[in-house]
Amino acid sequence: MAEKSKKKPQDSWSQMSTSDIKASEKFNAGYIDFLNRVKTEREAVAYISEAAGSQGFKELDQVKNFQPGDKLMIKFKSKAAALVVIGQEPLDKGVNMVVSHIDSPRLDLKPHPAYEADGMAMFKTHYYGGIKKYQWLAIPLALHGVVAKKDGRIIDICIGEKESDPVFTIADLLPHLAKDQMEKKMAEAVSGESLNALLGSRPLNAKDDEAIKARLMNILEEQYDIEEDDFTSAELQFVPAFAAREVGLDRSMIAAYGQDDRVSAYASLRAILELEKPKRTALCLFVDKEEIGSSGNTGLQSLLIENVFAQLMHMAGRNDYFSLRQALANSAAISADVNAAVDPNYPEVFEKMNCSFLSRGVVLTKYTGSRGKYDSNDANPEFMARIRKIFDDAGVVWQVGELGKVDIGGGGTVAQYIARYGMEVVDCGVALLGMHSPFEVASKADTYMSYKGYLAFLQNFI
């Protein structure tokens, strides 16, 4: 018998109904608004809290007990959050969980950032996460974050997003003088210590030392009530100042900063907001610090997941340790994170039979890791089969993917920190072009399919 030819992969658009395409456009309009409003993890938690509150979610400390269908919200230090819809089955039977991260690569201000040199005031930065440093030169930057005062007040900062706002930038070296720079490796051409942003150039008093810096400190104190010592207790970030935009003559793509991983955060948020009395309890977790290894007390190397489960079990009257471990082990999770789309400009780093493509659906990534699956979760085939069935039954267009050729590189997600509890986990998210750049590109069809996939999983996995 002749071998059947392999079916050509179809793009998401050709498999979407007219109603799906209309729903996708509406979904992506909301997503673009989200991207423009949310550029830090604190802003993400504030957005999630507002959206959930409008849909009847109540903060856990305001609730004494719960019933099936109740909607709960938990926030952690303003930088991580959980949304829960209580199911009809007992918690120790497990929950269906979608976990995304809401931090993105950026430039953080150092604790002592301000200085003056050569007629300019500057801010020193320390880059956060995996970036190509040269991509952060010669682009408009906005300053987001908070300053915590000694008297307990928190001052919110957002400078550079309004049309009337000033922006910041890191100047690049002119090509006329960059011969030595351009002969270096790209990783060495720009040093971390040279990522210093322009703050100002007008002196307060020409006779004073550091008169330009002094003027800028005056502005910060007069307009924002920030003194120089306050930077010690600040969390301020430079992020790209440009807005999310539709890409292409057909407007089929979205380009924006921070789509890794806010595309998954938004899709899972929209999914859980629609749930009503699922059979199993549904949980969406939005976490911090993934881009630097999930460290700290708002990242998943902490006991954050265990603490969420413990709170819920306590409210359900199940305070024994065994029931908690049972609830964790019986749960199932999607680690909602992005993958790399095959880029036709760089075909040499992709193994096309197993890598993901733009506009071919949400990506199921069985394992991540690097060079031999190190630091990876590797999803069990039985679990993969159940996810395939749920997606197919719900009309979710999906594909499989790896993060490039085996010996080229790789990457990790939060999946390994979820799997340690014994629950089943698989990575699932959209494919991006330009991941970790200031202007990542996603397909509108794929973002919508990720939402459909997360919703189907939360509703149907048993």
Q: Are 385 and 376 in contact (CB under 8 A)?
A: no
First to last CA, the chain: 39
Q: Are 115 and 124 in contact (CB under 8 A)?
A: yes
Q: Alpha-carbon distance 456 to 395, whole Å?
A: 9
Q: Strands across the sheet with 106-117, in order?
A: 154-159, 141-148, 234-240, 106-117, 120-128, 197-200
Q: Alpha-carbon distance 398 to 430, whole Å?
A: 9
pLDDT by 10s per residue, the chain, length 462: 444 445 556 678 888 888 889 999 999 999 999 999 999 999 999 999 999 999 999 999 899 889 999 999 999 999 999 999 999 999 999 999 999 999 999 999 999 999 999 999 999 999 999 999 999 999 999 999 999 999 999 999 999 999 999 999 999 999 999 999 999 999 999 999 999 999 999 998 767 778 999 999 999 999 999 999 999 999 999 999 999 999 999 999 999 999 999 999 999 999 999 999 999 999 999 999 999 999 999 999 999 999 999 999 999 999 899 999 999 999 999 999 999 999 999 999 999 999 999 999 999 999 988 788 888 899 999 999 999 999 999 999 999 999 888 888 788 899 999 999 999 999 999 999 999 999 999 999 999 999 999 999 999 998
Query: What is residue 1's predicted lDDT score, i.e. its pLDDT?
Result: 42
Query: What is residue 3's predicted lDDT score, i.e. its pLDDT?
Result: 43
**Distances, alpha carbon 428 to alpha carbons 128, 264, 330, in Å:** 24, 9, 20
**Distances, alpha carbon 282 to alpha carbons 89, 130, 182, 431, in Å:** 11, 32, 52, 25
Domains of the chain: 13-104+257-460 (3.40.630.10), 106-240 (2.30.250.10)
Q: What is the pTM of this model?
A: 0.95
Angle formed by the axes of helices 259-273 and 444-460, to 10°? Answer: 50
Tell me the pairing of strands 95-101 and 332-335: parallel
Query: What is residue 374's predicted lDDT score, i.e. its pLDDT?
Result: 82
